[in-house]
Amino acid sequence: MGPKRRRVVILGSGFGGLAAAEALRGADLDITLIDRTNHHLFQPLLYQVATAALSPGDIAWPLRTIFRSQSNVRVVMGEVRAIDRAGRRVQVTDHPPIPYDVLIVAVGSRHAYFNRPDWEGYAPGLKTLADAVALRARMVLAFEQAERRAATSSGATPLTFVIVGGGPTGVELAGAMAEIGRNAMLPDFPFLQRQAVRILLVEAGSRVLSGFPPDLSAHAQSALESMGVTVLLNQRVREVGPKGVTLDGQFIETGNVIWAAGNRASPLLSSLQVPLDKDGRVFVRPDLTVPDDDWLFVIGDAAAVQDGQGHFLPGLAPVAMQEGRYVAAVLAAPTATGKRAAFRYVDRGTLATIGRAKAVAQFGSVHVSGFWAWMLWCTVHIFFLIGFRNRFRVVSEWIWYYLTFKPGARLLDQSHN
């Protein structure tokens, strides 16, 4: 036992929290990583689990395995109830309070329902493995029920999937559902007509992928349409219920609405008692700390961080990871606060995939689309996947799927009627 080491507590094992913890390997610190699940989730591929192209095990990795060889990290699986700033400790359900000298808040965000939480039951979102597995079950079940109706009744009702939100998640979901629903699953349901399966993507703005330049948005939209997805722009969701979803102009009858619109940062952040933006994110200083504590950092989707031009950084994995590494660097070299260099996000480009051999990519002024953007997307995602094993499995899954068009994990793990 040397002198007491600084206690660093990290809340959340997403890209930000994980990057911070890993970047502190070897540091003379006493790190506690707290997450409500026992795994790190590679969220960018979650939609592929939801559409049964991948298995949960392919995109998630147990935290304890990740940090098995990093002796300065202790993993705690638990639900953080509140942050006790006065006592400098974290309240965890069924666990003694966990004291900290340094706190890194990387608790991410959940979907936002425009103050209509009652919609969530009819329009679940996609943030966790549980979300993805539930969504997959709903999709498979919807096909089974439509097949049953088509086989036993004369008038077959259409099978409609409505995806709300034209951002990367919505676009990726719509593309994957079009491919898997129409190409992979439909042949297994002899009574279902191809045109009976409808996939609608609803976007409130004037274009999909609004984070990308207009030409790539246009490309993404036409790619989706070529896959049989109906893209509805400038359509706000007015109501969601058991029978379907009401847009500005129309009512769409469906039992399958998926929410990919808007995020709201974790409610836990309110216990910090610092100013939050309209999405519930914490306004942080250039060194990612809260205004009144040099050793309380907020990163990732939980933080509202401005870039050099005063724009707020998007909620993307690379942003969170760079923020995590920045905080780790600050802790590794504890200079006086005044001397801390401000965090600078280095934009290495953004990617979104639409479907098999269809993607868009932006690198500054360079815009790429189609097959090569997709290859790039695959490469980047495989590269960032944690652990050889997952890479190996995801690659083999993708190759298998690319060659055969047969997703493997299309299972309901219990009876549904």
Query: Measured from the CB of residue 293, what is the shortest distance to its own copies in angstroms?
Result: 26
397 assigned to active site: no
Residue 38 or 210 with smaller CB distance to its own copies: 38
Rule CB under 8 A: choose which of 95, 207, 356, 391 binds its own copies. Answer: 95
89-92 vs 95-99, strand pairing mode: antiparallel
The answer to whether the beta carbons of residues 221 and 356 sit under 8 Å apart is: no
Interface with its own copies, residue 409, by CB under 8 A: yes
Query: Measured from the CB of residue 182, what is the shortest distance to its own copies in angstroms?
Result: 15
* Helices 371-384 + 388-404 axis angle, to 10: 150
Query: Measured from the CB of residue 88, what is the shortest distance to its own copies in angstroms?
Result: 18
Q: What is the DSSP letter of 360?
A: E
Give the C-alpha distances (Å, rounded to integers) separating 322 from 30, 35, 169.
22, 20, 21
Residue 294 buriedness (CB in 10 A; 0-12 / 13-18 / 19+): middle
Of 89-97, 102-110, 228-236, 320-328: span binding its own copies (CB under 8 A): 89-97
Give the C-alpha distances (Å, rounded to integers) separating 90 from 76, 99, 108, 217, 220.
12, 6, 17, 43, 44
Of 13-21, 124-132, 256-264, 274-282: span binding its own copies (CB under 8 A): 124-132
Interface with its own copies, residue 286, by CB under 8 A: no
Interface with its own copies, residue 194, by CB under 8 A: no
The answer to whether the beta carbons of residues 289 and 297 sit under 8 Å apart is: yes
Pick out residues in 45-74 that bind its own copies (CB under 8 A).
Answer: 55-57, 60, 62, 64-65, 68, 74
Pick out residues in 126-185 that bind its own copies (CB under 8 A).
Answer: 128-130, 133, 140, 144, 148, 151-152
Residue 371 or 405 with smaller CB distance to its own copies: 405
Q: What is the DSSP letter of 286?
A: T
The answer to whether the beta carbons of residues 368 and 380 sit under 8 Å apart is: no
Of 155-163, 209-217, 329-337, 391-399: span binding its own copies (CB under 8 A): 391-399
Rule CB under 8 A: choose which of 267, 396, 402, 405 binds its own copies. Answer: 396
The answer to whether the beta carbons of residues 182 and 277 sit under 8 Å apart is: no
Selected catalytic residue, list 172, 179, 203, 397: 172
Q: How many residues bind its own copies (CB under 8 A)?
A: 52
Interface with its own copies, residue 36, by CB under 8 A: yes
Query: Measured from the CB of residue 110, what is the shortest distance to its own copies in angstroms?
Result: 12
Give the C-alpha distances (Å, rounded to integers) separating 240 from 111, 158, 159, 298.
15, 19, 17, 34
- Give buried/exposed letters for 193-213 (b at 16+ CB in 10 A, else e): eeebbbbbbbbbeebbbeebe
Q: Would you name the residues annotated as active-site residues?
A: 172
Binding residues for its own copies (CB under 8 A)? 36-39, 55-57, 60, 62, 64-65, 68, 74, 76-79, 93-96, 128-130, 133, 140, 144, 148, 151-152, 187-190, 389-390, 392-393, 396, 400, 404, 406, 408-417
